[in-house]
Amino acid sequence: MTSFPAGYRVGHWTDAPRRTGCTVVLPPAGTTAAVDVRGGAPGTRETGVFTPGNLVSEIHALVFAGGSAFGLAAASGVASWLRRRSIGFAIGPARVPIVPAAILFDLSVGDSDAYPDEDAGQAACEAAREGDIATGGVGAGTGATVGKLLGIGRASRGGLGAASVSLPGGARVAALAAVNSFGDVVDPETGRPLAGARGEKDFLLSTRALCRDDLPDRTLPGANTTLVCVATDVAFEQGALKRVAIEAHDGIARAVRPAHTVVDGDVVFALAPAGGAPSLLARLRVGTAAAEAVARAIVNAVEN
């Protein structure tokens, strides 16, 4: 199993019978964030806050949720949970928690009326712990599927995955991925399909089929995504951290084929202790490790 750097807590709320859930990342105080959205059909909350140069860069929680747009309600529950603990951006006497969120579409695999609500978000916070992260069909990955070129009936199970990379000197880069992609998940080293659209006898290989085959035009728009959180214990300022989020998308492209499509909502959040820009070598190492950790986390999501 995999853990995030020290001080991070991760918690899940899972509704297995109705195939939905949410996952909350609670970072240590003083954590800054950056985000990069590459998919053509994202569903997000508060991503605009983390544009370099804006007033706020600190993040107090991150939420990944099923339930499509309805699942964004879980983030309101997380914000309420944090406010009761006086955690948030100080505005006069008030504390306003900064809680970005991203959602995936799982309404076609379980109960279409089920989604993570405010109570679910608060329950995930209560369950959040440091240490090993539960993966597979839990939290935001409960109803996730991958390889939907031929429709949900021919797709494979997706899920929630985690992985980490240790750097020289002891620094760490970890990734959490909720994998609900349109494309297939493949071994990043060999290209061997691990999960995806199922043909008559084996996986269809969606990229090859899109380029060569006569296919029915029945893809559900906006029903797919890969959601990623990368966390490191190397201090960053927000502008440099944005590059880590960009580079981390390479991990999606290595493990999901095709990736970043018009029907996916692929998004990466990068989290780090607030500080100045690290050395050029450190930036290169963290960005490279982020892509590696993301690819491994995606594989972990479908192999658990």
Tens of pLDDT, residue by residue over 142-167, are 999 999 998 888 999 999 999 999 99
The confidence score (pLDDT) of residue 219 equals 66
User: Exposed, middle or buried by CB within 10 Å (0-12, 13-18, 19+), for 42?
Assistant: middle
This prediction has a pTM of 0.96
The confidence score (pLDDT) of residue 148 equals 93
The confidence score (pLDDT) of residue 215 equals 82
Give the mean model confidence (pLDDT) for residues 98-106: 97
DSSP assignment of 286-298: HHHHHHHHHHHHH
pLDDT tens column, 34-61: 999 999 999 999 999 998 888 889 999 9
**How do beta strands 9-15 and 101-103 pair?**
unpaired
Q: Is the dihedral of CA 292, 293, 294, 299 positive or negative?
A: positive
Q: What is the CATH superfamily name and number for domain 9-303?
A: L-amino peptidase D-ALA esterase/amidase (3.60.70.12)
Cα 230 to Cα 252: distance, rounded to the nearest angstrom: 12
Give the mean model confidence (pLDDT) for residues 179-186: 97
Nearest of 61, 68, 70, 77 to residue 24 by alpha carbon: 61
pLDDT beyond 70 at 220: no
The confidence score (pLDDT) of residue 216 equals 76
Q: How confident is the model at residue 223 (pLDDT cuts 50, 70, 90)?
A: confident
Q: How confident is the model at residue 126 (pLDDT cuts 50, 70, 90)?
A: very high
The confidence score (pLDDT) of residue 31 equals 97
Cα 259 to Cα 277: distance, rounded to the nearest angstrom: 30
Cα 256 to Cα 37: distance, rounded to the nearest angstrom: 16
Q: Which tokens is 150 given?
A: 């031929």
Give the mean model confidence (pLDDT) for residues 184-203: 92
pLDDT tens column, 258-276: 999 999 999 999 999 999 9
pLDDT beyond 90 at 195: yes
Q: Which tokens is 229 given?
A: 């959180």
pLDDT beyond 90 at 204: no
Helix ranges (DSSP H) in 14-90: 73-83
Give the mean model confidence (pLDDT) for residues 117-140: 98
- Domain spans, the chain: 9-303
Report CA Rg, the chain: 18
pLDDT beyond 80 at 213: yes
Neighbouring residues of 196: CB distance < 8 A, sequence distance ≥ 6: 146, 147, 155, 156, 183, 184, 185, 186, 203, 204, 205, 206
pLDDT tens column, 280-297: 999 999 999 999 999 999
Cα 69 to Cα 132: distance, rounded to the nearest angstrom: 29
Helix ranges (DSSP H) in the chain: 73-83, 118-127, 206-212, 238-255, 280-303
In residues, how long is the chain?
A: 304
Q: Which amino acid is at 130?
A: E
